[in-house]
Structure 1
């Protein structure tokens, strides 16, 4: 037996080209699909089964002919599975074939009767690879998801036969070390050349045109990337992931949506729960995509909106109005957006944040901004200088693939870290260092970030912080203005009173991928953003009284990472029984999601709405009552598109007067200094003015705009902020006549 130094050169054959391997993979998929259709047609009878069987025979004959002209090494790559009785092992062997990561991994399941439960995972990095005639042996120490004394893994796989060749049964042995007797042995039959298999259900709103395919050779691309026609399933197949389209896609009729066909996170999640036929609150290899018209934020191309509760990452959406087009450039951008959003469902973060996934992955060039990946932004691509960045440079170099460490996660991440509905999005980000990011040695970005809030919060009060991004350069600086943590460029670390450090992860991840820039200079020295950080993908972040430390990090357009100061705030203990009762009604996953969304009609959040209603009924005079009023007022100001599981979609119309009444209470409480922060107050008054205009009271709406200027201007001495307040009020006045309902 000899050691193989080049693991791709098995049996003395030269490794096949990427084109040949892609063709082989495609052929396997076609044969499997045709065989499945043939079996179904045979049950129904008719001539179609004969035609399909003839096509299978034709493909196999083509494979045999090609094998003589383009020899393909007999691969052992793929997924294997042991018998279903008792403990079942699903094995993944990734040491040859297309872009091997040189790993062996697997998941264990315990089968009992008609039930199956996940029990653990392992991965062997860089196993020793040996060969004998007609056989491959892999061996190495494994990393397991739970403690075990049998960490040594040996895998023996006979070479495949047939056209295309299929590997034999893999023998997997677990032992205490090399040369020791196995403590457990599993016999695993070959299942698929893919490492994982996912069911994709895609629906679309009437008027949108779902993406079909893109020919990568239709526009310039890297010479190392072979021209090919890519669909979304084929893009994932190249990464070793089988994406099975589940059922026929549904067209959602929404003619009643009116001119405002924009979707928000709450409507999307409600649509998924009611319309995703495969949906279940459980970890499953199933994902739903909705091709919607537009998002409420017109800059957003797509969103992985399912980021709250115990089972996340099951649904995403792409927004047709932002990415539509039939020309090659538009089709190329659509492919990237679809794959990007589905990548989030597999628990892949944006390229510049992927060190926060579990297990943490190293950042690529320029802090990840220079990654050539589906998970980077084309317009935000920034390789290390002096290489050019931006959209044109990205497409000129992008090979239409995930990076190597993203492949490791997709193929070999522990089961719950990858499966939809498994661990929460980005789990592992709690491994933030205790120094809250650590100060950079050099900061020549010309930018400064400040994090501020009231010094103390009541127990149960929604924690809202303000971010201020300013320039320290007398000549000014240009950068993007994305200060909302949902947009992926701002990260906030939270150190709890007990010393545990967490990273705030918002419930939703918006993908803006827009070249929008702001200029910070003497005329506009800073921009501001108010954000609620009390609830996110890890649930409630401020559940205990005590002193918290916070620090924010902003990733600028050029990849610079700008840190705020360490900010301190205190969550006070409840002083009375009433305070304790109010906090109990205010704190919960559903309530946290309602505060994040500023209300929702979704049935899944009904318990949260009931709790906030009870809080107002019993404790209407409590200082924290302003927050349920804000949620109810904001929610009443919006139309809600309802997509039921059956029946006709409909729109729940906004209630203008209810919104005005609720928002008035927020303004009154804030003027009396026990309400919301200034940025939120400005939003409330603008929203109230629009509701007044829609109710036919335009003059009253103009007076609200004037009141906003006087109230907010008294709360700041900053001339540029006062100018901005007046400018916002004037823009509001200009739009009020068009708001009339």
Structure 2
């Protein structure tokens, strides 16, 4: 067998060459990454892949050759590799490299895993513990062993345990805390590409997710993932199997693998598998959405491996498209194609986008999504918010260019409870802040934008909304200019995405919002600064110390009430966000010890929306939300 990783050098050029023509699951490819060496500095120069090389015996060795696709211009695209024993030669792009076999794996990644005290990290699962598909050999799979089967070596750093100081072990993490934990305490975190990734085993997420690849913004992403022990814990074979799948799935995102039904959103677009991607037998599919058969059908057929196309990406994707901290998730460029209506098919659902008539420059752009039934009753899932990625949003700028909204945090949902849309429940609604995401601010200049959304239904159907026109007004005076500058900073955008944060990495953004409130507190856009400040104060905030101990800043109900009360009194925010603010304000009043005022806030919430004339079905939902909040408050939060 000659497949594996080879390394060689020709002058100041170094080559990492991957030969993949025999051995387990060969993809029939040769690929490589080229680097330039200058003194003690090594810089990335480019990559190539030969998709279908000719392979033939030559003397005591093997000759592999073909025409390659390169990331850089070269007059000669022919690649020739000769392997004899453990050594060989490679000729490509004007270089002749002498090769030495380096590893049976195609790539090697350092995995640093920390766990919060009280959680139990996954170790391994025996695939013969439960019925498996015919032809799937029984073996013991750890996360490292499963990636080894894909040709990727995971080198494990010594694991760390994060003590919990005075906060108990039942701790719910939010996105802001996860992002802060990684940027401050992942020892290998860096502003640049490298083969290393951090996995945090936390107790639970505030929204109940099983896992999240939370490093999804900025220039150096895909370095951090988390799994949530409370959602997948257990020692039964079913629990161990679910843990393996969750760990593999979240780390797969760090390698730039998309969900199975999203590959058409990659740049360049990739073909979807069967059933619009829901039929993929892959770590990257959702088991509950597998078609046909849902979760039972998935496990009855899943061979515990990546698909062939995913295997090609892991082994032979261009360096910057795979290495952590390099190209952005799911794309090699920011431009996208606006969504188009399907050629045929009636899913029985209608998707609409709504927004304010106009926004001031710098004002957070929030849209309301409505999914409604158009005929007889329909069952689908309720994951309408674009952060769960069953819904995507495209934004066409005034200059005609189009970008996809990419959330700062991407949430993986391992449960998709069905909702029934009918005469009694004709529609579901979500509010989404789409003004800032992984690519920064999307509405940075005055003008007219066209926004569309696409929802992937439970049966794989694509439901496309009509365009929603969003107008951004130019500043009308000096104060408008000053406020826009204070709102449009990158850190401020992150704070709006995270609904506030204590992270020192976002200190400048918090200072800008403080300046806005101090100098322009009467400006209409000040309501958004108060929103962020109030929501962040009302909750606690977890942070890891330099010694990787967990410290919790307790909620500050007084500060939360001060800001959120003024948000409620000031116009500007949308109805769904106002609903959230009122429920959090009630929680802050309860934390201050005034249960009567907390109840009054919830009564006011119901009365306010009744006065707005919302339809009776939605008003009934608001009443139920108020009742749930009362019950939570009654249990002592």
Query: What TM-score, normalized by structure 1, do the two folds share?
Result: 0.84
Q: Is 1:459 the counterpart of 2:385 in the alignment?
A: no
8 Å CA contact 2:353, 2:465 repeated in 1: yes
SS of 2:19's partner is strand
For residue 216 of structure 1, the aligned residue among 124, 127, 131 is 127
8 Å CA contact 1:690, 1:739 repeated in 2: no
8 Å CA contact 1:685, 1:708 repeated in 2: yes
Q: Is 1:676 the counterpart of 2:573 in the alignment?
A: yes
Equivalent positions of 1:435-584 (< 5 A) are 436-474=338-376, 476-584=377-485
**Which residue number corresponds to residue 146 of structure 1?**
72
Instruction: Report the structure, 1 or 2, having the larger strand content.
Output: 2
8 Å CA contact 2:70, 2:77 repeated in 1: yes
SS of 1:693's partner is helix
User: Cα–Cα, structure 1 residues 533 and 320, in superposed 2: closer, same or farther, change >3 Å?
Assistant: same
Q: Is 1:99 the counterpart of 2:25 in the alignment?
A: yes
Query: In terms of mean alpha carbon deviation, does 726-735 or 186-195 score higher?
Result: 726-735
Deviation at 1:714, TM superposition (A): 2.4
Question: Partners of 1:489 and 1:192 in 2: how far apart?
Answer: 39
Deviation at 1:459, TM superposition (A): 0.8
**Which residue number corresponds to residue 43 of structure 1?**
none
Write out per-residue CA displacement over residues 62-106 of structure 1, whole angstroms, 9 at most, x where no aligned residue.
Answer: xxxxxxxxxxxxx11111111385111111111111111111111
**Which residue number corresponds to residue 302 of structure 1?**
211
Deviation at 1:431, TM superposition (A): 5.1
Q: Is 1:639 the counterpart of 2:540 in the alignment?
A: yes
Question: Partners of 1:119 and 1:534 in 2: how far apart?
Answer: 35
Equivalent positions of 1:281-300 (< 5 A) are 281-298=191-208, 300=209
**Which residue number corresponds to residue 34 of structure 1?**
none
Equivalent positions of 1:168-567 (< 5 A) are 168-169=87-88, 171-174=89-92, 183-246=94-157, 248-258=158-168, 261-298=171-208, 300-382=209-291, 388-428=292-332, 430=334, 432-433=336-337, 436-474=338-376, 476-567=377-468
Question: Partners of 1:663 and 1:220 in 2: how far apart?
Answer: 53
Query: In terms of mean alpha carbon deviation, does 78-87 or 142-151 score higher?
Result: 78-87
Deviation at 1:617, TM superposition (A): 1.5
**Which residue number corresponds to residue 651 of structure 1?**
552
Question: Partners of 1:457 and 1:364 in 2: how far apart?
Answer: 40
Deviation at 1:274, TM superposition (A): 3.0
Write out per-residue CA displacement over residues 502-543 of structure 1, whole angstroms, 9 at most, x where no aligned residue.
Answer: 111101111111041111111111111001111111222112
User: Cα–Cα, structure 1 residues 139 and 361, in superposed 2: closer, same or farther, change >3 Å?
Assistant: same
Query: In terms of mean alpha carbon deviation, does 203-212 or 81-90 score higher?
Result: 81-90
SS of 1:451's partner is strand
Deviation at 1:686, TM superposition (A): 0.7
User: Cα–Cα, structure 1 residues 641 and 85, in superposed 2: closer, same or farther, change >3 Å?
Assistant: farther
8 Å CA contact 1:463, 1:534 repeated in 2: yes
8 Å CA contact 1:425, 1:537 repeated in 2: no
Question: Partners of 2:612 and 2:49 in 1: how far apart?
Answer: 57
Deviation at 1:446, TM superposition (A): 1.6
Deviation at 1:194, TM superposition (A): 0.8
8 Å CA contact 2:222, 2:255 repeated in 1: yes
Write out per-residue CA displacement over residues 334-371 of structure 1, whole angstroms, 9 at most, x where no aligned residue.
Answer: 00000000000001111000222344321100110110
SS of 1:242's partner is strand
Question: Partners of 1:87 and 1:692 in 2: how far apart?
Answer: 65
8 Å CA contact 2:124, 2:143 repeated in 1: yes
Unaligned runs of 5+ in 1: 1-74, 161-166, 176-182, 383-387
Unaligned runs of 5+ in 2: none
Question: Partners of 2:573 and 2:49 in 1: how far apart?
Answer: 49
Deviation at 1:544, TM superposition (A): 2.0
Runs of 4 or more consecutive aligned structure 1 residues displaced over 6 Å after TM superposition: none
**Which residue number corresponds to residue 54 of structure 1?**
none
Number of aligned residue pairs: give it: 637
Deviation at 1:255, TM superposition (A): 4.7
8 Å CA contact 2:335, 2:401 repeated in 1: no
Deviation at 1:122, TM superposition (A): 1.1
Query: In terms of mean alpha carbon deviation, does 289-298 or 539-548 score higher?
Result: 539-548
Identify which of structures 1 and 2 has the higher relative contact order when contacts are C-alpha pairs closer than 8 Å and 6+ apart.
2
Query: In terms of mean alpha carbon deviation, does 569-578 or 400-409 score higher?
Result: 569-578
Query: In terms of mean alpha carbon deviation, does 725-734 or 547-556 score higher?
Result: 725-734
Deviation at 1:147, TM superposition (A): 2.3
User: Cα–Cα, structure 1 residues 594 and 84, in superposed 2: closer, same or farther, change >3 Å?
Assistant: farther
Question: Partners of 2:636 and 2:76 in 1: how far apart?
Answer: 69
Deviation at 1:186, TM superposition (A): 1.8
SS of 1:379's partner is helix
Deviation at 1:442, TM superposition (A): 2.5
SS of 2:340's partner is coil
Question: Partners of 1:349 and 1:580 in 2: how far apart?
Answer: 39
Query: What TM-score, normalized by structure 2, do the two folds share?
Result: 0.97
Question: Partners of 1:129 and 1:259 in 2: how far apart?
Answer: 57
SS of 2:531's partner is helix
8 Å CA contact 1:635, 1:659 repeated in 2: yes
SS of 2:166's partner is helix
Deviation at 1:578, TM superposition (A): 1.9
Query: In terms of mean alpha carbon deviation, does 624-633 or 555-564 score higher?
Result: 555-564
Write out per-residue CA displacement over residues 297-336 of structure 1, whole angstroms, 9 at most, x where no aligned residue.
Answer: 12x1000011112110101000000001101111011000
Question: Partners of 2:160 and 2:36 in 1: how far apart?
Answer: 36
8 Å CA contact 2:388, 2:412 repeated in 1: yes
